Amino acid sequence: MDVEVSYLHNLETGESEWSPEFDLLFYAALSKNVSFYERLAAFDWPFLKEAYIEWTPANFRVWFGRKRICWGPAYYGNLLIGPWYYDRELLAFKEQEGLNAVGLQVRMGDFTAKYFTSILQSEGGRDDKPQRNLCGHRFEWRPKSNLTLAFSETVLYTHRGIEPLYAMPSIISYYWIDGYFRDVLKKGVNDNLFMSFDVDWKVDEKKRVYWEFLIDDMEDELLIPGEHTEYPQLLGTTLGGEWKNPFGSKAIDLLRLEYTAITRWVYAPTIGGHEATKYTYHDRIIGHWLGPDADLLTGEVVKNFGKKLQVFLMYQRERHGEGRDISEPWNEEEYGTETQFLSGTVETSHRIRAGMEYFISKKTSGSFIYEHENIINEDNQVGKEKNIDRIKLGLKARF
């Protein structure tokens, strides 16, 4: 059982908010290679966060049910499938909801293949709520024990049932399958395809660097230098790293830096497609919570005082262009074909966050956070400025 209670107070407005969370966890080994896991939330909707059966014979892993999926090396959010979203009101990362899916993982020496197929929405046959399906596969290669290279793909498709060519595990790229539907079978499909490349390198025991690159609906011209596309190229990238005791310093136990940039219309409905092709699940982005036409720079230092107290100091600069609305469709007459990033009037937020966490026991801790935020051009309105000061008290316990 997990219990988390937080209290957030806005020093400017005097407004306060309590946020209790109460999760029940259940795990059972049904046999030597079969297990069941469940996570039930008492106060959130949907109540069932995760519930799946997993079979793990030898180098295989097969699961069925509702499970959280995370692909990528980044710390503050991954571009293709993120493990969480950031709740700005509560100053906290929240777990993404699990997907109702079937998944498979196979390990062969230095290679690992992962796959899943999911029905995000089952109300098929109606234009207002068509069936929405999501499939994905990922291939990881570890040429060295400290280096992982990966290629991942997902496809979100609507207005039809499970597509066998997408749904079955294979090494065939969804990009080629989509082309086969359109060019050979002459299907009028408009599927939302994503591919990503990532690298995770543990330089030594103290240093780690990582990189992720996302392509949304890749155009052939992207592979040909100097060529111009018929549509804007939709891209995202994250570069980050961690360094323990940087420069041999004893004053800092961990330094963490990360930068993410996402161009306009990433995660939005496919060009010329239906609103249902937005890359969302329960109205939250499946990929990075930051959203399109935005970037995020984060620097954080952590210091431990014994085993009981951890203190951190964080700085973030978050920017959003006018194309932040994920429902906004692309229009050639209005926007042209050039890739856009931080378009129009840019909203810029500077945040300084300081906090500490005291570990009362191995399973219980209390925390305190203070945050000052300065917002320039709030809501992309020129000259509109806002300052926010907030404090947060929290308590976590596992029984």
Tens-place pLDDT, residues 198-219: 999 999 999 999 999 999 987 6
Q: Quote the pLDDT of residue 196.
A: 96
Q: For residue 364, is pLDDT > 60?
A: yes
Average of per-residue pLDDT across 354-371? 93
Average of per-residue pLDDT across 42-56? 80
Exposed / middle / buried, residue 319 (Cβ in 10 Å: 0-12, 13-18, 19+): buried
Q: Quote the pLDDT of residue 69.
A: 92
Tell how strand 60-67 and strand 84-87 pair up: unpaired
Q: For residue 176, is pLDDT > 80?
A: yes
Q: Is the dihedral of CA 184, 187, 188, 193 positive or negative?
A: negative
Q: Do residues 159 and 270 lie in contact, with contact meaning Cβ atoms separated by under 8 Å?
A: no
Higher-scoring residue by pLDDT: 242, 59: 242
Max mean pLDDT range (217-231, 322-336, 351-365): 351-365
The Cα angle at residue 232 between residues 291 and 218, in degrees rounded to 5: 85
pLDDT bracket for residue 175 (50, 70, 90) = confident
Higher-scoring residue by pLDDT: 64, 339: 64
For the chain, count helices (H), then strands (E): 3, 22
Q: For residue 181, is pLDDT > 90?
A: no
Q: State how far the Cα of 176 lies from the Cα of 196, in Å rounded to an integer.
A: 15
Average of per-residue pLDDT across 356-385? 94
pLDDT bracket for residue 384 (50, 70, 90) = very high
pLDDT bracket for residue 21 (50, 70, 90) = confident
Average of per-residue pLDDT across 375-397? 93
Q: Quote the pLDDT of residue 41.
A: 81
**pLDDT tens-digit readout, 214-260:** 999 876 655 556 666 778 889 999 999 999 999 888 889 999 999 99
CB within 8 A of 31, min separation 6: which ones?
Answer: none
Q: State how far the Cα of 194 lies from the Cα of 71, in Å rounded to an integer.
A: 13
Q: State how far the Cα of 141 lies from the Cα of 58, in Å rounded to an integer.
A: 19
Q: Quote the pLDDT of residue 223.
A: 59
The DSSP line for 128-156 is SS--EEEEEEEEEEEEETTEEEEEEEEEE
The partner residues of 155 in beta bridges, in order of sequence, read: 135, 193
Q: Quote the pLDDT of residue 219.
A: 67
Q: For residue 299, is pLDDT > 90?
A: yes
Q: How many residues are there in the chain?
A: 399
Least confident of 32-36, 76-80, 186-190, 287-291: 186-190
Q: State how far the Cα of 114 lies from the Cα of 104, in Å rounded to an integer.
A: 6
Higher-scoring residue by pLDDT: 274, 299: 299
Q: Quote the pLDDT of residue 93.
A: 76
Tell how strand 234-244 and strand 385-398 pair up: unpaired
Q: Quote the pLDDT of residue 24.
A: 82
Q: Do residues 59 and 108 lie in contact, with contact meaning Cβ atoms separated by under 8 Å?
A: yes
Q: Quote the pLDDT of residue 82.
A: 83
Q: Quote the pLDDT of residue 366.
A: 93
Q: Quote the pLDDT of residue 127.
A: 54
Q: For residue 189, is pLDDT > 70?
A: yes
Cα–Cα distance list, 58 to 62, 82, 145, 189 (Å) = 11, 28, 20, 39
Please, what is the average pLDDT of the chain?
A: 88
- State whether residue 275 is helix, strand or coil: helix
Q: For residue 298, is pLDDT > 90?
A: yes
Tokens 């290629």 label which residue?
151
**pLDDT tens-digit readout, 100-151:** 999 999 999 999 999 999 999 886 545 567 889 999 999 999 999 999 999 9
